[in-house]
Structure 1
Amino acid sequence: MPSRTDPEPRSPDELLDAAWDCLEDGRPDEALAPLAAIGDALPERWQAECIAHIARSDLAAAEQALARATVELDADDPGLLWATGELRLAQWRLNEAREAYAALERQEADAAVLERLAVLADLDGDTARADALLARASRIDPELPRPARLSAEEFEQCVDAAAEALPQHFRETLEALAVVIDPMPDPLMFQGRSDSEPPSELLGYFVGHELADRAAAVLELPPTIYLYQRNLERMCSTRDELVEEIRITLYHELGHALGFDEDGVDELGLA
């Protein structure tokens, strides 16, 4: 018999609400326990579990959850379509992601869906369509931040200023690298990989041998830092925020060039 101090058992709907609260708060690991407690009582459990695993970068588990959702839910279920779009985007399976988001848009022009379609338009190189989709999203949700925008020349000037602000020994290291500013990541660089961030979240990327690896330097192209202007702009709503994010991203990728992993880059103190 439960004691008076035992919490009341929660219904499947309450457990699902608790899981979504965790996801909205950026706590995907904590979402898994209430989802597991639902068992088979609610088929909507699986779309939420898919989203949780995407946020945890466990795309294999997300694929398994999506497979269960696909069996349990109608093909036009909005939650299933959103989970499908999110997973396919995270996997860089862009055509499939586009199909899922487009199906959602046909049901209802939701701001979040339009934002995702804008990312895909940017990846296609269609910046005019991307900006039009973001404008539509902003009309639907007036509180949605609009991206800060810089010309290519202004953006390059911000990168140069961030480089100049480095301590001298780091600045000399950066001069040994190529720094390339692209509007968006090239899908051909990332498709089929399981270790990359989703297209909308990739702000910069380091490619090549670490600077300390002289043996690899003979065999490979020069190490390169890529900065993705449209993604960086999308992350920021003011010019000042964008200038700071450019600096942080450049320094972060420089840390990778020096051979540091994610934790090491943070400890390096550049940002």
Structure 2
Amino acid sequence: MGSLFSNTISLRKSVQISDDEFVQLRDFIYEKSGIFVDIKRKYLFESRFSKRLSALGLSSFGDYVKFLKYDSNKAQELNKLFELVTTNETSFWRDTKQLESFRDHVLKEKIEEQRKAGKLELNIWSAGCSSGEEPYTLSILLHEVLRMELAKWRINITAVDLSPAMIERAQKGVYGEYAFKTTPEEIKNRYFTKDPGGWKIKPAVGKLIKFQQMNLNDRMSLKRVPRSHIVFCRNVIIYFDQDMKQRVVGSFYDNLLPDGYLMLGHSETLHKVSKTFKPIYHPGTIAYKKEG
């Protein structure tokens, strides 16, 4: 998911938001997405949402909350709201040390387990995939590890995000130079082709991935995700309050197959969130294992 709200303040005049209006909008966002926004970020509401209010011809945040609740276009506006709430700061090969450790330990362990069991299949869930860099990176890792053997495997990467706009961008698979700031040059040249819009992911990489819009606060939707060997949810749960964290992590636990792994962002932890996973320490990362 990346950062919640940008720290960049627009030069345009912001619509002022009262404490009461902030609470109304904050509670609505929490109800719909599970994302909790602290009142210290109130000024960011003003900078981020003012342009949207102007486009809708609304003069106050109170009117905007009413629009979100009662207008005939509220469903479409909810998607716009999700775009404004999430910044989606991401890139390919993000947190390189973690990815390398994941590849050398967790991924290779799972691949070996599946080989021994005679089941050449692997399901990975990328929860909070933003504009697609994470699931495409995972697909590339699988291509690198399995190479010619990949054709024998059934691999499914389910990539979900709250924002329909991010899913649309991910499906297009075209990225500017900024997305490759931590990507090895040989990887970029091997798995992307030059495109008028930047660099386009090769079809073989995208073939392993199914993108879909999904709200991690929607329990019924989460239950439709195929049972996973590995769940990636990096830089997402830090934006949830304790109750939401526990619910989402509980859903990941239920989704994971026995001995499956949950991978969080390097600054995230399950401490005080869940005792049902066993932390496995590797150089550069912690993998949370569902035992049994």
- Structure having the higher Rg: 1
The TM-score, its normalising length taken from structure 2, stands at: 0.24
Greater relative CO (CA pairs within 8 A, separation 6+): 2
Higher helix share: 1
The TM-score, its normalising length taken from structure 1, stands at: 0.25
Higher strand share: 2
